[in-house]
Structure 1
Amino acid sequence: MRRLTAVILALGLSLAASPAPAEALKVVSENPPIQPGYNRFVLHSDRIGRDFAVTVNTPSATVFLPGQKLPAIYALDSGYGLAGPQGMLLGNTGAMEPAIIVSVGYLPGQTLFRNTDLLHNKLTQDGVTIGGGGAAFEAFLLEDLKPFVEAKFPADPARSVLFGHSFGGLFAANVFADKPDAFYGYVIGSASVWADPPVAARVAAAMAHAHGQRVYLSVGEKEGWMVPGGSSQMTDGFSGLMAAMTSKPGVILKTQLYAGETHLSYYPRLVTDGFPHVLPPAMALGASQTVLTPEVLARYLGVYSLPDGRKVTITRQSRGDLAGQVSGIPQVPLQQNGADRFYAPTSDLNVTFDKSGLTMVGVDGGTVRATRDKTP
C-alpha cells in the first residue's frame, strides 16, 4: 500500500512538473477595430517561429439561422491590401455570398519570408536558394490559423477558400495537390508553375480525390512582356494546370485568360471575378420578378415562432418591400425571389412562406421552420 501511494505521489509530481503543451498560435497584439468589420492581429507561430500579420474582415451579413456560419476566404500575401475591402463590397452588395476575409501577411521588413513559405520545394536561381517552407506554412494555415479564426469568428470549417496569386497561386495549387478537400474553393491566379513544374502532374493525380471543389484559375495574357524577347512561362503554367483540371470530375472549374493584362494589372479583377465563382450568391443578380400587389404582400405580415422560442416579425417597409426581424437581431430587407419566396441579400438567405408559417434556408443548406402566431 505504501509503495502504491509512493508511486501515485511520484507520478503526480512528475505530471505537475511537466510543462504545459505549447499553444500553436499566440496573440502578440490585437488592435481595436478601426471600423466595423475590421480586425487586425499579430500572431506568433511556434510551428514556424515567426510572427504573422493577419487582418480579418467580417461582412455586415445578419446571421439568421441557429448556428449559422459564414464561409471564410484565406488570402495570401495580405490579399495585396485589396482582397479584404473588395470582398466586403462584393458580399455586402449581393455579388457573392457574404464571407469572412482573412488576409495573411507579414510584418514590415519581413515580406521576403513569403519566398520561403509559399514554395513547397526549394528553388535556386543565380546562386540563391529560396523556398522549402511550403509544407510547414500549409500546416500553419490548416492546423493553426483556421482553428484560431473559427474559434473567434462565425467561420464555417467546411466552406473555406484559399486565394493566392503568383507564388501564392503556386502554393494554392500545391495545397490542392496535397489534399483537395482541405478547402471548399480555390482562387489560383498566375501560379508560378515554372518554379515547381511537377505540380501540374500532382494536381492531375489529385483530381480523383476532389469532391466538388470550386476552382477559379487565371493568368494575364501579357505576363511575359517585360522579359527580353518575351516569355510564355506564366501562360504555359496556366495551360498545364488547366489541362490537369479540365474535363475531369471533382471540381467546378472556371478559367480566364485576361486579354491585354500583365502579371499584376488584372489582380483587382481576379477578386471580383474569382470570389463570386467560388462563393456564388443564393440568388442571381438581376433576376426579374413579377411585382406583388399590396394584397398579396399583406398575407405574409405577422409574427412567427422559431423552435428555440424566438420570434420572427414580418413587416412592410415604407417603400412597400418586406422586412424580417428575428428577436435580438437587426431587421433585414426581404426582396421578392419568386412566388411566396423572398431573399435576404444581407444574409444570403431565402425565406419561403406558406399557409402555416415560413421556412428559412441558408446557402449552405441550413434550414429552420417558423410557425405563424398571428397576423396584424
Structure 2
Amino acid sequence: MSDDTPAELVPAPGPAAGIETFVIQPPGLGTALRISIARAIQPAVGANDGPTAVVYVTDADYMFGTVVDAVRVGSLGGELAPAVVVGIGYAEEKGDLAFVSMRRFLDFYRGPRRSFSAGAYGSFEFGGADAFLAALRDHVIAAVERHVGEIDPARRVLLGISAGGHFAAYAMAEAPDLFQGYALMSPMLVDPQSPVAGALPQSVGDPVMVRLIEQLPALPEGRRAFLSAGALEEDPGTMFADFAIISNAFRMRAALARHGVETQFVQFPGETHGSVAGAAIARALRFLLPVAAGPDWQAALAATE
C-alpha cells in the first residue's frame, strides 16, 4: 500500500543551489545591501581557458534570477564565458518591491539630492549615486572578490536597466577603471525634475548623462558598452515617452564611440519599458561575455567582431 501522508516543504539552506546570500552595511550609505552570489558554471563539453568574469547586477530585487539563469544556461552550452553573477539588492526589501521601488531612485541618480513628484505614482528622492558608487567600489566589490577568489578583476561587467542605466553611465564617468563592460538597458539618461502644472516639462528628455560622457577627456581602452531599448518606449501617451529613452541611447552610443568604446545598440520590436528586460539581458550578456579563446581577453573580444 502507498503512504498517503502529505509531503511537507522543508526549508533548504539557500534560495537555490550554488547561490549564497549575504548582508553588508557600507558606511555612509544609510541602508544595508543584500548581496547574492551565483558561482560560475563551466561548459558541459570542453573547457574554458579564459579568466572568470563577474557580472554585477543592480536592481537585483528585480532581475537577479533572470541574469543568473541566462548566464548559467549560456555558459553550460558554451555560448557565454563562465561568469560569477553578483546581485546587489536591499536587505530591507521584503518581496513586494515596495522598498526597492523607492530606494533605487536615490541610489542610482547622481546629485544634487532632490525630490521628484510623479503624481499618482508618488514622490521619490533622487541624488545619492555618489554614495552608492562608493559603497560598491570600496566595500561590496572588495568583499565579494575576497570571498569568491577566482574572479579576474579585469573582467568586471556592470548591468543596469532604466534608472540602473543612469547609474551605469555615472559609474563609467566617475570610476572608469572599475568596470570593463557595461549594459545600459532602456537607460534613463536624464535628470528628472518635478512636474510643472501636473505634466512633465519637455526638458525632462534632456540627455544630461550623454553630455557627461562627452565632456570626459578620455576613457580607458578596451571598454565595451551594450545599449538597448524597447521599440515602444517613446510611443506618444506612454508614461516614458518624454524621457527620450531610445533617442538618448543613440546619442550615448555615439558619445561612447567617440571615446573608442566598442558599442552595440539593439532596439526590440514590440517591447515596452516594462516588457523588454528579458530580451535585453540575453543580448547584453552575449555581447559582454564572449567565450574566451585563451588567456588574452582582448583577443577574444576582437574575435567576436
Q: Same fold (TM over 0.5)?
A: yes
Q: Give 2:295's aligned residue.
A: 362
Higher mean C-alpha displacement, 258-267 vs 138-147: 258-267
Report the Cα distance in structure 1 between the residues aligned to 2:132 and 2:252, rounded to whole angstroms. Answer: 22
State the 1:207 CA deviation. 6.6
State the 1:218 CA deviation. 0.9
Amino acid at match of 2:224: R
Q: Give 2:184's aligned residue.
A: 188
Q: Give 2:152's aligned residue.
A: 156
State the 1:236 CA deviation. 2.4
State the 1:160 CA deviation. 0.5
Normalised by the length of structure 2, the TM-score is 0.75
- Say which structure is richer in strand: 1
The 5 Å alignment of 1:86-165 reads 86-106=70-90, 107-108=93-94, 109-111=98-100, 112-121=102-111, 122-126=113-117, 128=123, 130-153=125-148, 154-165=150-161
Report the Cα distance in structure 1 between the residues aligned to 2:173 and 2:89, rounded to whole angstroms. Answer: 23
Q: Give 1:74's aligned residue.
A: 56
Report the Cα distance in structure 2 between the residues aligned to 1:172 and 1:159, rounded to whole angstroms. Answer: 16
Distance 1:73 1:259, change over 3 A: same
State the 1:253 CA deviation. 0.7
Report the Cα distance in structure 1 between the residues aligned to 2:240 and 2:167, rounded to whole angstroms. Answer: 25
Runs (5+) with no aligned partner, structure 1: 1-30, 284-360, 366-376
Equivalent pair of 1:245/1:253 in contact (CA under 8 Å): yes
Distance 1:93 1:132, change over 3 A: same
1:58 aligned residue (39, 49, 53): 39
Report the Cα distance in structure 2 between the residues aligned to 1:65 and 1:220, rounded to whole angstroms. Answer: 33
Q: Give 1:238's aligned residue.
A: 249
State the 1:188 CA deviation. 0.6
Report the Cα distance in structure 1 between the residues aligned to 2:240 and 2:162, rounded to whole angstroms. Answer: 18
Equivalent pair of 2:218/2:259 in contact (CA under 8 Å): yes
State the 1:38 CA deviation. 1.1
Higher mean C-alpha displacement, 123-132 vs 164-173: 123-132
SS of 2:136's partner is helix
- Say which structure is richer in helix: 2
SS of 1:50's partner is coil
- Deviation sequence 1:229-254 (CA, Å, 0-9, x none): 982522222122122123x2431111
- Deviation sequence 1:74-120 (CA, Å, 0-9, x none): 01100523112222211222111110000111222521211111111
Runs (5+) with no aligned partner, structure 2: 1-11, 193-206, 299-305
Q: Give 1:319's aligned residue.
A: none
Q: How many pairs were matched up?
A: 256
SS of 2:232's partner is coil
Equivalent pair of 2:48/2:81 in contact (CA under 8 Å): no
Name which one, 1 or 2, has greater alpha-carbon Rg: 1
Report the Cα distance in structure 2 between the residues aligned to 1:136 and 1:93, rounded to whole angstroms. Answer: 38
